[in-house]
Amino acid sequence: MTPGATSGPASGQPEAGHPEPPRQGSQPEPGCDVPLLRLRGVSKSYGAVQANRGVDLTVMPGSIHAILGENGAGKSTLMKMIYGVEAPDAGQIEWNGAPVALTSPSEAGRLGIGMVFQHFSLFDTLTVLENVALVVPGSPRRLAARIATLGRDYGLQVDATEYVGALSVGERQRVEILRCLMQDPRLLILDEPTAVLPPQMVTRLFSTLRVLRDRGVSILFISHKLDEIRELCDAATVLRDGQVTGHADPRDTDTRSLTRMMIGRDLPPALPAEPGGAEGAVQLQLSQLDWTNPDPYAPDLRGIDLKLRGHEIVGIAGISGNGQSELCALISGETRLPTRAAGAIALRGQSVGAMGAAGRRALGLAYVPEERLGHGAVPEMTLWQNALLTAQSRGLTRRGMVDRRAALRFAQDCIAGFDVRTAGPEAEAGSLSGGNLQKFVVGREIMLAPSVLLVEQPTWGVDVAAAAEIRRRLIEMRNAGCAILVISEELDELFEICDRLHVLHDGRLSPSLVTARTTPEEVGEWMIGAGRPDAAPAGKGGGTGPARPGSSGTNADRPDTARPDSARPAPSHPDRSDPAAEGPGAGAASEGSDHAV
């Protein structure tokens, strides 16, 4: 809650890197200012599921207001109602003190509400300029000029003629924010904007948001990351199970009380991730693994070296789309190497590159894929049938026939042992919530007692308590001698459970970094490719790590530094600016980047 005096066009200089000085007047001041947006008793349900129940929310002008809550707490539904994508079942929305009916996104846009989606509403096959022009009126030439000016003012530089499909995630986010800003919004909604960014880019985003705030734009910042909210926001509304559980000023509320409001109790203490001590034998080894991707927009894997021993958890960090899913498919056996290259993957001392998934599982590999529904489990099948899918060799079949009783027992043990909340082993996998199904899938793989466990995004979309439980189980497995490879986008999680880290960027794997001796910043450098061997001499097996390029750190926060963002999902494709490749025939038939209208 900010008095009107500090809003409006202020100095415009972002104070990046410094915590905001506490701004005066954080108490509500009745009569001083009309709230920009006010929700009263807003409810929304989808069938039997009540997504929001009697939500009250007040956003003052010139404020960065956090909406805090776990996955599934109803944050996204609430934002959809504010942005006019969904209509509330009950309750009232007021804009500048007057009730409004937000029936469509364009109506919300007219009022001055802009939204940056978590899954961006951008179009890969259109250029930046064309994406902007879809919602912003004006001649393309004028739009291009505005993109450049706004980009300079707010640290959101992008090449307007580039196809969005060729941009990195960070650049895409900039395009989304730019597109919102060009409509002169009074309120900007950002849905989990930092989920997709490496740490350096988060700092840069925050300085952009502070400039916006200083110029009088209110921001609704949706997140479940408490540190970020305490750093950036001056007000917070906490949601749990669709209901408001508290309003707070995050600058003077400690993390623990925010956590309580968010999950209803204290966070279970993290298991201390003391190194496994015993140095196990090498269980999984990748040596100079090369793989050419059939998908032209996804990276090839090049020269990947990795050693995974028993008694350790190794994490692979990186922004998704840099080769993670390809690497998992190669390790699990879902993608096979040609026989002559089979030696690049060794499982427990055996060359398995050309072996199928079943053969590798028989050797002691277990795998928890990223997609729970359709990959980790079949949604239409019951839990015991899903248990059968990977555990059938553990006595669940007899002479080729399913031993139903044994399968039921296995599933029941998994449900009990991993605290899966469900009606029982006869429940369909698709009827479980994300977190519970994840616990079941992880539990099923752990019950196979593998010697190598490959886990992709172990806690993606899982509530805090279940996530902590899954991490605890992984550490237990490690202590029992299992070799665990975790691929995750959540850097905090990797730092919590891993003994060593690698970073995957553009299909190349960084050298090994010992978790205890590295920092998120160093890992972040590798995530955006700044620490590549060709940019700096590589560290030896961890510890020392890569040299940091001089342009990092504080400079990255300054909006006027045109720092190329090299974290492209698919950078090495020559076609994207090649007009000659755009097709034969009449000039008019080729779809180049000349936008004369």
What is the per-residue binding string for another protein in 242-281, x denoting contact by CB under 8 A?
----------------------------------------
Contact status: 27 vs another protein (CB under 8 A) = no
Contact status: 112 vs another protein (CB under 8 A) = no
CB of 432 to another protein, least distance (A): 24
Among 10, 34, 85, 342, binds another protein (CB under 8 A): 85
What is the per-residue binding string for another protein in 528-567, x denoting contact by CB under 8 A?
----------------------------------------
Contact status: 298 vs another protein (CB under 8 A) = no
How many residues are given for the chain?
597
Contact status: 47 vs another protein (CB under 8 A) = no
Which run of H or of E encompasses 304? strand 301-309
Q: Which CB, 130 or 370, lies closer to another protein?
A: 130
Contact status: 589 vs another protein (CB under 8 A) = yes
Phi-psi region of 250 (alpha: psi -120 to 50; beta: other; left: phi over 0): alpha
CB of 434 to another protein, least distance (A): 20
Token pair 């001055």 in the structure block, residue: 112
C-alpha 283/C-alpha 452 separation (Å) is 7
Size of the site for another protein (CB under 8 A): 44
Contact status: 580 vs another protein (CB under 8 A) = no
Among 14, 74, 109, 353, binds another protein (CB under 8 A): 109
C-alpha 562/C-alpha 316 separation (Å) is 29
Among 3, 140, 268, 379, binds another protein (CB under 8 A): 140
The residue range among 153-161, 301-309, 429-437, 570-578 that interacts with another protein, by the rule CB under 8 A, is 570-578
DSSP state for residue 152 in the 8-state scheme: H
The residue range among 22-30, 282-290, 501-509, 572-580 that interacts with another protein, by the rule CB under 8 A, is 572-580
Among 36, 51, 68, 133, binds another protein (CB under 8 A): 133
CB of 295 to another protein, least distance (A): 8
The residue range among 319-327, 485-493, 494-502, 582-590 that interacts with another protein, by the rule CB under 8 A, is 582-590
Q: What are phi and psi of 542, to 5 degrees?
A: 105, 180
Amino acid identity at 422:
T
Token pair 């909210």 in the structure block, residue: 229
Among 19, 90, 124, 349, binds another protein (CB under 8 A): 124
Token pair 């060009």 in the structure block, residue: 182
C-alpha 56/C-alpha 72 separation (Å) is 18
C-alpha 540/C-alpha 477 separation (Å) is 28
Q: Which CB, 154 or 163, lies closer to another protein?
A: 163
Q: Can you name the residues that pair with 235 across neighbouring β-strands?
A: 65
Token pair 């599933």 in the structure block, residue: 411
Contact status: 476 vs another protein (CB under 8 A) = no
Neighbours of 317 (CB within 10 A): 29
Contact status: 11 vs another protein (CB under 8 A) = no
Q: Which CB, 135 or 150, lies closer to another protein?
A: 135
Q: Which CB, 264 or 583, lies closer to another protein?
A: 583
Q: Which CB, 115 or 487, lies closer to another protein?
A: 115
CB of 115 to another protein, least distance (A): 8
Neighbours of 97 (CB within 10 A): 9
Among 10, 135, 357, 538, binds another protein (CB under 8 A): 135
CB of 589 to another protein, least distance (A): 2
CA-angle at 433, arms to 261 and 327, nearest 5°: 105
Among 70, 130, 525, 557, binds another protein (CB under 8 A): 130
Question: Which candidate, 418, 417, 431, 419, places its Cα nearest to that of 383?
Answer: 431
C-alpha 214/C-alpha 200 separation (Å) is 22
Q: What are phi and psi of 256, to 5 degrees?
A: -65, -45
Among 123, 350, 405, 579, binds another protein (CB under 8 A): 123
Contact status: 106 vs another protein (CB under 8 A) = yes
Which run of H or of E encompasses 199? helix 199-214
Angstrom distances, CA of residue 200 to CA of 281, 518, 552? 36, 15, 8
The residue range among 66-74, 102-110, 256-264, 300-308 that interacts with another protein, by the rule CB under 8 A, is 102-110
Listed in sequence order, the residues at least 6 apart from 399 whose beta carbon sits closer than 8 Å to its beta carbon are: none
Q: Which CB, 80 or 505, lies closer to another protein?
A: 80
Residues 300/335, Cβ–Cβ less than 8 Å: no
C-alpha 177/C-alpha 163 separation (Å) is 17
CB of 225 to another protein, least distance (A): 24
Distance of CA 246 to the CA centre of its chain: 26
Among 10, 34, 126, 514, binds another protein (CB under 8 A): 126
Maximal C-alpha separation, the chain: 80
Provide the Cα torsion 149, 151, 155, 161; round to 10°.
-140
Q: Are strands 49-59 and 37-46 parallel, antiparallel or unpaired?
A: antiparallel
User: Residue 33, CB half-sphere, CA atoms under 13 Å: how many?
Assistant: 22
Q: Which CB, 180 or 365, lies closer to another protein?
A: 180
Contact status: 416 vs another protein (CB under 8 A) = no
524 is written with which tokens? 């972040």
Among 95, 120, 154, 440, binds another protein (CB under 8 A): 120
CB of 229 to another protein, least distance (A): 25
What is the per-residue binding string for another protein in 421-460, x denoting contact by CB under 8 A?
----------------------------------------
Contact status: 171 vs another protein (CB under 8 A) = no
Residues 81/75, Cβ–Cβ less than 8 Å: no
Q: Are strands 218-223 and 64-68 parallel, antiparallel or unpaired?
A: parallel
C-alpha 331/C-alpha 353 separation (Å) is 8
Contact status: 46 vs another protein (CB under 8 A) = no
Residues at the site binding another protein, with contacts judged by CB under 8 A: 85, 104-106, 109, 115, 117, 119-126, 130-131, 133-135, 140, 163, 165, 294, 296-297, 573, 575-576, 581-586, 588-592, 594-597
